């Protein structure tokens, strides 16, 4: 059911204090209210499942879908998925005991999910070796017998010499 421009203007005039946020907009229309209800249900199940999961898995696991009595949990990688599959029966049982009408957990890897809680790679703070250090490594290289250690010191010198 579509509204005409005059009906929308009348609604604006009768409700000047209406919530203009996205949530207010979603809740105001019959068609979009279902989206809001589904989003709230997904978040509630995600919170309930998070109480069951270990902390590292809780940070990256998201509820992707609910279909009948099955919940699909999404994680960013295969290692997370393997651990989550081990915990799936326990998660389903605890969610059922908590009052959710769910009895099956499916796990899906979604590479696009952010790795929340993981540390981003740090930039290396590299300082070049000084003249005294290079002289010491040259003396060490000269005193070593041929072998893997002498090769490694030779590569280090080749890398750091100007």
- The structural domains of the chain, ordered by start, are 26-109 (3.30.300.180)
Quick: pLDDT tens for 82-105.
999 999 999 999 888 888 888 899
**What would the mean pLDDT of 35-53 be, rounded to a whole number?**
85
- Residue for token pair 């899906």: 108
pLDDT digits (tens, 9 = 90+) for 117-128: 555 566 777 778
What is the 3 state secondary structure string of 2-51?
CCCHHHHHHHHHHCCCCCCCHHHHHHHCHHHHHHHHHHHHHHHHHHHHHC
Quickly state the pLDDT bin for 16 (edges 50, 70, 90): very low
Whole-number pLDDT of residue 140: 92
Render pLDDT for 130-148 as a digit per residue (tens, 0 to 9).
889 999 999 999 999 999 9
């Amino acid at each position: 059911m579509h509204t005409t421009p005059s009906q929308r203007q009348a609604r604006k005039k009768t409700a000047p204090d209406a919530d203009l946020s996205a949530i207010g907009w979603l809740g105001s229309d019959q068609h979009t209210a279902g989206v809001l209800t589904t989003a709230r249900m997904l978040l509630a199940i995600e919170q309930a499942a998070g109480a069951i999961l270990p902390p590292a898995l809780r940070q990256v696991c998201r509820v992707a879908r609910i279909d009948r009595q099955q919940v699909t949990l999404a994680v960013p990688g295969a290692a997370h998925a393997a651990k989550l599959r081990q915990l799936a029966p326990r998660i389903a049982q605890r969610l059922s005991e908590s009052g959710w009408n769910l009895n099956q957990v499916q796990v899906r890897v979604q590479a696009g999910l952010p790795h929340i809680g993981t540390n981003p790679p740090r930039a290396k703070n590299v300082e070049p070796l000084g003249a005294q250090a290079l002289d010491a490594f040259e003396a060490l290289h000269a005193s070593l017998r041929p072998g893997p250690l002498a090769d490694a010191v030779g590569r280090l010198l080749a890398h750091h010499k100007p």
